Amino acid sequence: MSQPSADADRAVAEQVARARAAQRRFEHAGQDTLDTAAAAAAWAIMEPQRNRLLAELAVRDTGLGNASDKFTKNYRKTPGLMRDLDGVVTTGVVARDEAKGIIEIARAIGVVAAITPSTNPAATPANKIINALKCGNAVIVAPSPKGHSTCARLIGFVHEQFAKAGLDPDLVQMLPAPIDKAATATLMKQCDLVVATGSQSNVRMAYTSGTPAFGVGAGNVAAIVTALADPDAAARKIALSKTFDNATSCSSENSVVIEAPIYERMLEALKRQGGALLDDEQKARLQATMWRDGKLSARCTARLAEEIAREAGLADIAAREPRFLMVEETGYGAGCPFSGEKLAPVLAVYRAREIDEAVRIVEGIYRYMGAGHSVGVHGAGDALAVTLGTQLPVARVIVDQAHCIATGGSFENGLPFSLSMGCGTWGRNNFSTNLNFRQYMNITRVVLPIAEHVPEVDALFEAYFCKVGR
C-alpha cells in the first residue's frame, strides 16, 4: 500500500476535525433534528430527477450495471430504509426494564468512515449516510475511484437539502479526489467507526485499521430448486435476480442447484426467461474470456449477457440477445471458476440427485467462496428451510424470492433494508445481520439496584443432577 503524503494526511485530519466539531453539536440537537437530517439525505437521492441523474452518472463513470435498474434500486432501497427508521428512537432513553433495573440510553458513535464500492456509487453511500445521521453521527465517505464523481454529486445534493434545513454540511463529507488506498487507510485510522462495503481487500484493511469496523463478506450466492418447486415461478425469480443491474449485486445468484426430477423442466423454464445454455466448447471459450491468469476479468464485469457472449467470440449466442448465460457445472474450487462469484449475468447450473446432494454441492461451493452470505431455495417448506439454516454456513435463507431483491430487505419480507450484508464468522465478519441503524450507535446502561435474589444451587443444577447425579 502506498504511504500517504504529509499533505494528504493533514487534509484528512482537517476533514475529520470539521466532522467531529459538527457532530458534537448535532448529537445533542434532539430526535427531531436527527430525523430531519436523515430525511434530507434520503430526499437528496430519492427525488426522481436527481435519482435519474445519479443512476446515469454511475453507469457512465463506472461502466457497471444499467441506469434503469440503478434508478429502481435507489427508489426502493431509500424509502424502504426510511420505513425501517420511521418512529425509531435513536437518542436518549430507548428502553426501560423495571424488573432488572436497567435503563438504556442511545448514544452516537462520532465520525463514521463509510467505504463504498463502484458497483453502487450512489445507493450504498446514501444508505450509510442516512443510518449514520439518524443516530447522531457525522460521516465521511471514501468512494471507489470510479464512483467518485457520482458520490460527489450525491453529497452535493445532500448539502443542498441541508441548506434548506439549516444543517451543517460538515456532517456529510467525502474524501477529495484522487481517491487512493493511502488516504482511505488514513481516514479509517482517524475516525470512530468504519463501515466497509466492497472488495475484500478494503474489508480486510478496515478490520486491521485499529478502528472498530463492520465489513461484509464475499458474495457467491447459490440457490437450490427442489423437486416440489414451480419451475416457471422459480425461473422468473432467478432470472430477475441474475440480471438486475447486470448482476452487480453480491446477492445475485451465481449458481443454481436443481434436483434431478425437475432438472430438465427447470432448464427449459430458465431458457424461456432468456437464459442461453452453452455447450462444452462455448463454456471453455467463455471461461478463457472471463478469467485471465486465474483472475476475473473486468472486461465482463456487470455487462449485458449479449456483450459478454460477443466478447467471448460466441456470435451465435450473442445474436439471440440472451438475458443471461448458463453453463453446466459439476465441480467447485479454483479449478472450476464458474463455481465462484462472477459479477456478471452468467449462471452455473448443477444437477443434484436429491436434496442431501444439493446441500453437499452448496457446501462445496461455499468452501471455495461465499460462506456466510446467503442461500436461496425454491419449493421448500419451513422444515427444509430451517434445515438449510442449520446445516449451511449462511446468515440468511431466502425462500421463494428473487434473491438479490430480497436479501437486502424488501417490501415482501422483514429484513432491514440495506446494501451491506454481514456474513458472520463464516465470512470473516463480526456481525451476521443486514447492516442497519443499530450498528451506528452505542448503548449506555443505567443500572439501578433491585431486590437481591440468589438462586438455590440445587434448583440451578436440578436437571443435571437428575441426568448424571452429583
Q: So which residues are the catalytic ones? A: 250
Torsion sign (Cα): 320, 321, 324, 327: positive
Hey, what's the cell of 305? 449477457
Q: Tell me how far apart the alpha carbons of residues 129 and 138 are, in angstroms, rounded to a whole number.
A: 8
Kind plus residue range of the DSSP H or E element containing 102: strand 102-108
At residue 147's C-alpha, the angle toward residues 143 and 149, to 5°, is 105
Query: Which residues, 6+ apart, have CB-to-CB distance to 21 below 8 Å?
Result: 170
Contact yes or no for 209/185 (Cβ under 8 A):
yes
Contact yes or no for 250/230 (Cβ under 8 A):
no
Burial string for 278-297 (b: 16+ CB within 10 Å, else e) reads beeebbebbbebbbeeeebe
Hey, what's the cell of 255? 449458481
Q: Which residue has the cell 460538515?
A: 170
What single-letter DSSP state applies at residue 344? S
Name the residue among 7, 369, 361, 194 with its Cα closest to residue 377. 361
What single-letter DSSP state applies at residue 176? P
Distance of CA 270 to the CA centre of its chain: 26
Contact yes or no for 346/324 (Cβ under 8 A):
yes
Contact yes or no for 194/212 (Cβ under 8 A):
yes
Query: Which residues, 6+ apart, have CB-to-CB distance to 417 below 8 Å?
Result: 77, 80, 81, 83, 84, 127, 408, 409, 434, 436
Q: Tell me how far apart the alpha carbons of residues 82 and 43 are, in angstroms, rounded to a whole number.
A: 10
Hey, what's the cell of 413? 419480507
Output the CA–CA distances (angstroms, integers) from residue 339 to 234, 300, 333, 382, in the order listed: 20, 16, 7, 27
